[in-house]
């Protein structure tokens, strides 16, 4: 199965769809990317991140 790559903003929208009361923020996801905790591809200033890895890290697997 191909990785579901998303920008930070799109990943945040997906998380809010799963849990509208989630406290996860843009800055938190950015820090996770910068710390190398999930697979990312950097495009200039933007990050494309593996959504499935982020959800697994947050224990929100769907």
**pLDDT single digits (tens) 18-43:** 999 999 999 999 999 999 999 999 99
Is residue 31 assigned to a domain? yes
What pTM was computed for the model? 0.90
What is the pLDDT, as a whole number, of residue 3? 84
- Say if CB 60 and CB 53 are below 8 A apart: no
Radius of gyration of the chain (CA): 11
Q: 43 lies in a domain?
A: yes
Query: Does residue 13 form part of some domain?
Result: yes
Q: Is 62 domain-assigned? A: no
Edge-to-edge strand list for the sheet holding 40-43: 5-7, 46-50, 40-43
Number of domains in the chain: 1
Q: How many residues does the chain have?
A: 62
Report yes or no on 45 lying in a domain: yes
């Amino acid at each position: 199965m191909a990785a579901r790559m998303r920008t930070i903003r799109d990943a945040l929208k997906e998380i809010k769809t799963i849990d509208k009361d989630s406290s996860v923020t843009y800055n938190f996801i950015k820090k996770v990317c910068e710390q190398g905790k999930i697979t990312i591809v950097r495009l200039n200033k933007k990050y494309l991140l593996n959504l499935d890895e982020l959800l697994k890290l947050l224990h929100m697997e769907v």
